[in-house]
Amino acid sequence: MKKVRKAVIPAAGLGSRFLPATKAMPKEILPILDKPTIQYIVEEAVAAGIEDIIIVTGKHKRAIEDHFDSQLELELNLKEKNKTELLEKVQHSTNLANIFYVRQKSPQGLGHAIWTAKQFIGDEPFAVLLGDDIVDAKTPAIRQLIEVYEETGTSVVGAKTVAAHETERYGIIEARFQKDRLYEIANLIEKPKLGTTDSRLAIMGRYILTPDIFTYLEEQNIGAGGEIQLTDAIQRVNEQTAVYAYDFEGDRYDVGDKIGFVKTTMEYAMRSEMKDELIPFLEQLIQKHR
C-alpha cells in the first residue's frame, strides 16, 4: 500500500459569500485573528505528515502564493527592529511545507478543481482538505483519515452529523455503521433537497482518495448546481470498491460563511490573551443589544 504523501487544497472559489471583501482579496487569506484561514489548513496537513501540498488557485488569488513565499524586505525590517517573535511568525509560513500551485482556469466545481491536480498526484493516494473547515483536534483530522485508509486500503471521507435542516448544504452520506466512528458508505447524495433522505451524516471537508477517482472526474459529468461534483465521482468509486466515512474527532469550525467565520474568530479570540478584555466587552455588548 502506498503512503499518503500529497495533499490538494482547493482555493479557486470566488468567495461570493464574503463580497465585497473578497472582490480583491482571496477569501482564503481572510484572517482568524492574525493568521489566514488557509494557513490553518496547511498546518493541519503538515502536522499529519503530508510532504507535498498543491493549492488549486484561480484568478486574483496571487496573494495566497505571496503569503507562503519569503518576503525579504519585510523580514529584514523586522530583524533590524529586533522584532524576533513577529519575524519567526512570518518565516514560519514560508517554511511550512513544499507548496505547489496549479490554476483552475474556470470555476467548474470541486470535482474539476481536484481533477486539475491530476498530473501532480499521479498514481498515489492523496488527501484533500477544504478551506471552509478548520478542525481543532488532538490528532489532526486528516491524520485520522489517513489511519483509516491504512487500515482499509480504500478511499475515506471525513464526516459529521448535522441538523436535519442543514442537510441540503452538504454532501450527505447514507451508510451502515461499522465500529469506532467508522461507516461503510451505501450512497452519497450531493446537496439533497430537504425530506429526500433520512441521513444527517454529512461530508466535512476532509478526504483520502485513491487515484481511481480521476477515472470518473475525467468524464467531466455535470452534477448539482451545474458543476462537476467530487461527491458524484466518489459515489462512482463506491460502486466498484467500498468507500468509508469516518466521524473524525475534534471541533469543526465552518469558516465558509459569515456567521461561522465570526463565531470561529470569537472562539479563537477567547483562547488568546485577549480573553480577559473580551469577556466584559461581550457582556456589555449583550446588554446593549437585548
Name the 3-class secondary structure at 211. Answer: coil
Residues with Cβ within 8 Å of residue 21, at least 6 apart in sequence: 15, 27, 30
Question: How many residues in the chain?
Answer: 290
ω before 20 within 30° of 0 (cis)?
yes
Name the 3-class secondary structure at 17. Answer: helix
Q: State the average pLDDT over residues 264-271.
A: 95
What's the Cα-to-Cα distance from 218 to each of 114, 123, 168, rounded to whole Å?
A: 10, 14, 26
pLDDT digits (tens, 9 = 90+) for 3-50: 999 999 999 888 889 999 998 899 999 999 999 999 999 999 999 999
Helix (H) or strand (E) holding 208: strand 201-209
Mean pLDDT, rounded, of the chain? 92
pLDDT at 276 over 90: yes
pLDDT of residue 146: 97
Q: Is the model more confident about 192 or about 142? A: 142
CA-based nearest residue to 39, from 174, 146, 129: 129
Q: What cell does 216 get?
A: 470518473
pLDDT at 77 over 90: yes
pLDDT digits (tens, 9 = 90+) for 127-164: 999 989 999 999 999 999 999 999 999 999 999 999 99
pLDDT at 107 over 80: no
Q: Domains in the chain and their CATH numbers?
A: 6-256 (3.90.550.10), 257-290 (no CATH)
pLDDT of residue 145: 97
pLDDT of residue 27: 93
pLDDT of residue 272: 92
pTM over 0.85: yes
Number of CB atoms found within 10 A of residue 200's CB: 16
Confidence of residue 258 (pLDDT cuts 50, 70, 90): very high
CA 201/CA 231 separation, integer angstroms = 14
pLDDT of residue 288: 92
CA 42/CA 154 separation, integer angstroms = 23
pLDDT at 253 over 90: yes
Helix (H) or strand (E) holding 137: none
Query: Strand 31-32 relative to strand 35-36: parallel, antiparallel, unpaired?
Result: antiparallel
